[in-house]
Structure 1
Amino acid sequence: MKIVYIDMDDTLCDFRGAFTKALKESPEMKYPQAQYRFFADLQPIEGAIETVKLLIDSDTYDPYILSAPSTRNPFSYAEKREWVEKHLGFDFCKRLILCAHKGLLRGDILIDDNIEGKGQDRFEGQLIHFGSGAFRNWTSIRVSLGI
């Protein structure tokens, strides 16, 4: 089975949308992600949950969520776990990895919206750049992975 790590912010859930909305509502706020419940209340990106469920049911892939916690919000650790339970179920919480340096983990595939900044550039497996030309959305990733 191929180990697949999936980033959360702007890959599984809409960090940027919530960030922009919070800034519009409170322009003086320097770090909207520091708000209590910011991470727990993020909306899933279209197709993300369905794709993770397909990966879970696959005989080819072994999926995990790999997310860097926010240093601006100590609640992000618990809130990310809460988000996973809400959208993917309690059992999948055992597959949540919070790590500030993604290059430390071994695996076959990392799906992330960034190609650097949190160790993505040091990941030894295949990096699928979510939101880029070939991988614009979750439909294109499902096609690429054959699920």
Structure 2
Amino acid sequence: MKKSIAIDMDNVIVDIEGHYIHWYEKSFGIRLDKSALIGKPEGSAFPKPEAIREFLCTPGFFKEAPTMPGAVEAVRQLAEDFEVFIVSAAMEFPQSLSEKYEWLQEHLPFISWKSIVFCGSKQVIDTDFMIDDHVKNLKHFKNQGLLFTACHNVSITGYTRVNNWEEATEYLYAAVQ
């Protein structure tokens, strides 16, 4: 029987931090370097932090977001050997539901609609592994959680950390050997 993995979208397979930077520059003419975000809560490094929340409520924001480097290839590879679920706590921004689904259909068409979980809380997820960038989603997870590095979580310790998709796939394959 295949082991199962829950994979978060934002800051794991979707480059939301880079997308914030792009939209901020497009909206205000100010380009922040990604290094300015390191160690700060999401959005707080921007001169107008409230704009980030507005982006999250703007039609088109989620649909236009780029993939994380190596994410598509890694998820495709993992889907051959694991039962892969894409799990996103998307209920806070309800307009994101259709956009995230469309994004998945465009970038990860090999993931069945049956393997997509949009929820409010990830506490109900019961896979063998979970890859997420937020500790709030990992701290209640009963099995092996992997903290995917994002600017906002660089100082967090106490979790198994993966910095990129190469490290994530290496860890997962080693864990099932």
Q: Normalising by structure 1, report the TM-score.
A: 0.87
The answer on whether the counterparts of 1:115 and 1:129 sit within 8 Å (CA) in structure 2 is: yes
Per the TM alignment, residue 87 of structure 1 is displaced from its structure 2 partner at its CA by 0.9
Matching residue of 2:6: 5
1:120 to 2:138 alignment: yes
Counterpart AA for 1:55? L
- How many pairs were matched up? 142
1:139 to 166, 169, 172: 166
- The amino acid across from 2:18 in the alignment is G
Q: Which runs of 4+ in 1 moved over 4 A?
A: none
Structure 1 range deviating more: 17-26 or 27-36: 27-36
- Stretch of structure 1 that moved more, 4-13 or 125-134: 125-134
Counterpart amino acid of residue 126 in structure 1 = Q
Matches within 5 A, 1:10-89: 10-27=11-28, 29=51, 31-58=54-81, 61-69=82-90, 71=92, 73-89=93-109
What is the alpha-carbon distance in structure 2 between the residues aligned to residue 123 and residue 82 of structure 1? 27
1:100 aligns with 2:100: no
Q: Provide structure 2 residue ranges, at least 5 long, that are not aligned to the other structure.
A: 29-47, 155-159
Output the CA distance in 2 between the equivalents of 1:46 and 1:91: 18
Report SS of the residue matched to 1:39. Answer: coil
Q: By how many angstroms is 1:92 displaced?
A: 2.3
Q: C-alpha separation between the residues in 2 aligned to 1:18 and 1:11?
A: 13
Letter in 2 for 1:102: K
1:108–1:125 Cα contact (<8 Å) kept: yes
Q: Over the residues paired in the alignment, what is the CA RMSD in angstroms? A: 2.0
Q: CA 1:48 to 1:126, structure 2 compared with 1: closer, same or farther past 3 Å?
A: same
Sequence identity percentage: 28
| Displacement of 1:26 | 2.3
